[in-house]
Amino acid sequence: MIDSFSRRINYMRISVTDRCDLRCIYCTDRFDHKLRHDDILRYEEIHLIVQAAARLGVKKLRLTGGEALTRLHLSRLVDMLAHTEGIEEVSLTTNGTHLAQHVEELKAAGLSRVNVSLDSLKPSRFEHITGGGQLKDVLAGIEAAKEADLNPVKINMVVLRGVNDAEVLDFARKTLLDDGWHVRFIEHMPFINGNGRNGTVAVRDIMSSIEHSLGKLEPHFPTSGNGPARYYKLPDAPGTLGFIGAVTECFCAECNRFRLTADGHLRPCLLDDDEIDLKEPLRSGADIAELERLILEAATRKQQQHHLRENGAPEKRQMWQIGG
């Protein structure tokens, strides 16, 4: 599937729920606007959409939330998707709090890889950022994922000015350990709450800080990966460092993805409010051919690049409703 700007769309991020057991300060607001149960796509509906997308060339899927592991029996969906013709990889992004108890069943169902969101290595700060989360649960989930060979386990850190930016070097040092972590630093995106860009630390500043203290960053080109991160290694480090300039760098020219919301809307771009409703046609009897037509329409509506700088953050949905 090729969009209007000759980009090949082969990757879909699927939000399976808008619910989350944490209340991260950069992701949620003070209010609950949760979807009704009937508004959320059933697993069988997600599977039909994926079948249609796979026929058009989508090969890789990532399950997100909210927090994906708050949805019951997620391994059943993983099994359905992993055995769909044309799908080569099913991965998961999670906050890690429930990962340890589910990792074996997810692996057995066909999960390929996992990314874990972790924004602090200090228990009190982690609890503050997440609204009450326990760091030990996430660390246990990371270790369980490694033991289950869901590698590489990538650690996503959203860097927040004045909150956790002092821990950048601590995370970077984790890549130097024998079981070197694979850490990705992500710029804070001004999505909700009027946060604006005051909390954003540019990736160029993060990289400069690491090089100043820990040594020259050497470009690294991983064999796997679907996204916009640029990867590097510190000298002799087993692990890798990734940098995602979600605000200060435009990676739209290489964008290869759609996002499916938990209530069945297909978003051609994370940073644009344009959506195509797939749930209503699906529940009105649309067959796979009709779903293919709608997905192809989404490809034609995919913009050349986002307009975050000109128009500000999207207003239709918040980050926890899209899954990043």
Lowest mean pLDDT segment, chosen from 38-42, 51-55, 170-174, 310-314: 310-314
Dist. CA 48–CA 107, nearest whole Å: 22
In this prediction, residues 85-96 reach a mean pLDDT of 98
In this prediction, residues 82-109 reach a mean pLDDT of 98
pLDDT at site 193: 46
In this prediction, residues 81-85 reach a mean pLDDT of 99
58, 50 contact by CB (below 8 A) = yes
Confidence of residue 107 (pLDDT cuts 50, 70, 90): very high
Three-state secondary structure readout of the chain: CECCCCCECCEEEEECCCCCCCCCCCCCCCCCCCCCHHHCCCHHHHHHHHHHHHHCCCCEEEEECCCHHHCCCHHHHHHHHHCCCCCCEEEEEECCCCHHHHHHHHHHHCCCEEEEECCCCCHHHHHHHHCCCCHHHHHHHHHHHHHCCCCCCEEEEEEECCCCHHHHHHHHHHHHCCCCCEEEEEECCCCCCCCCCCCECCHHHHHHHHHHHHCCCEEECCCCCCCCCEEEECCCCCCEEEEECCCCCCCHHHCCEEEECCCCEEECCCCCCCCEECHHHHHCCCCHHHHHHHHHHHHHCCCCCCCHHHHCCCCCCCHHHHCC
Residue 101 neighbours by CB distance under 10 Å: 13
pLDDT at site 194: 45
Domains of the chain: 11-322 (3.20.20.70)
Lowest mean pLDDT segment, chosen from 58-67, 69-78, 242-251: 242-251
The pLDDT tens digits for 19-41 are: 999 999 988 665 566 899 999 99
The pLDDT tens digits for 190-237 are: 754 444 556 889 999 999 999 999 999 999 987 666 678 999 999 999
The pLDDT tens digits for 244-273 are: 987 888 778 889 999 999 999 999 998 788
